[in-house]
Structure 1
Amino acid sequence: MFDVLVYLYENYWRPDACPDHAQLTRKLSAMGFETDEIEEALTWLDGLANASESYATEQKADSLRVYTASEQEHLGEHGIGFISFLESAGVLPPPMREMVVDRATAIPGGPVDLEDLKIIVLMVFWSLGEEPDALILDELFVDEADRLIH
């Protein structure tokens, strides 16, 4: 599923630039993605669209997030730490944080892999038509082993 999401991010600048589900399914199938992977990704994206509508004005800027036991288990220590890092850096406001948590908990299994969580964060930005700044893109995509320390 995450390969499909990355493909969509790289090839469509916003969700409304994507063709309808039937045409997109055909295109993704032609690109070599499996049918179940495509269906799972499109269902997840539908949930993302619903989340963007419901969380848009629900949270105040100074709200505090307390994770439930099931969220802690599903996100894992590293996932919650990463979300907290993005919040403290000022790039993940509370409504976007809630979208990330919602979409991460929609992934079966757990805890969610940190690399998958980074894709979820990127897709939340994408769904809102926002471009994360260069430092956040670096955090989302550059492997820590490949980082140069100056």
Structure 2
Amino acid sequence: MFDVLVYLYENYWRPEACPEPDQLRRKLSAVGFESDEIRDALQWLDGLDDSGAPLLAAPARLSQRVYLPREEDQLGPEGLGFLRFLESAGVLTPELREQTIDRAMAAGDGPLPLDELKIILLMLFWSRGEEPDALVLDELFDVPEDRVIH
């Protein structure tokens, strides 16, 4: 599923640029994706529109999110730490955090690898037609093993 999402992110500037679902299915199939991967990805994308994430009035620094045990299991310690890092940096609003959690829970059984959580965040920005700032993009595309320590 995540390979399909990355393909969509890389090949379509905005969600509106994607073809109609039937044509998109055929196109993804022609590229080589399996039908179950395509189905799962398109169902997951449908959830972006109706994620039902509440809009929180309190600024992020005044609110605190208590995670349910199943959310902790799905996100894993690395994912939870990453979300907290983005929140403390002022990048992740409460609304975006809730949408991220909702889409992570819809991604299947956890724990979700950090790379897949980053793809979820990219897809949320993509679905809103927003380009994250350069520092956020750098963090989302960063591979810790590739870092050079000076």
Structure 1 length normalisation: TM-score?
Answer: 0.92
Within 5 Å, give how 1:104-123 maps onto structure 2.
Answer: 104-123=104-123
How far 1:147 moved relative to its partner? 2.0
Q: Which residue in 2 is equivalent to 1:131? A: 131
How far 1:133 moved relative to its partner? 1.2
Q: Which residue in 2 is equivalent to 1:36? A: 36
Where 1:67 maps in the other structure, the secondary structure is coil
Q: Which residue in 2 is equivalent to 1:7? A: 7
Percent of residue pairs identical: 62
Within 5 Å, give how 1:1-150 maps onto structure 2.
Answer: 1-51=1-51, 54-55=52-53, 58-60=55-57, 61-62=59-60, 63-149=63-149
Query: Partners of 1:84 and 1:138 in 2: how far apart?
Result: 17
- Aligned-pair Cα RMSD in Å: 1.3
Query: Partners of 1:138 and 1:147 in 2: how far apart?
Result: 12
Question: What do the CA deviations read for 1:9-42 (whole angstroms, capped 9, x no partner)?
Answer: 0111111111110010011011111111000000
How far 1:149 moved relative to its partner? 4.2
Where 2:50 maps in the other structure, the secondary structure is helix
Query: Partners of 1:49 and 1:7 in 2: how far apart?
Result: 19
Query: Partners of 2:33 and 2:111 in 1: how far apart?
Result: 25
Query: Partners of 2:56 and 2:14 in 1: how far apart?
Result: 24
Structure 2: which 5+ runs fail to align?
none
Query: Partners of 1:6 and 1:33 in 2: how far apart?
Result: 12
Structure 1: which 5+ runs fail to align?
none
Q: Across the two proteins, how many residue pairs are aligned to each other?
A: 147
Query: Partners of 2:133 and 2:147 in 1: how far apart?
Result: 17
Where 1:48 maps in the other structure, the secondary structure is helix
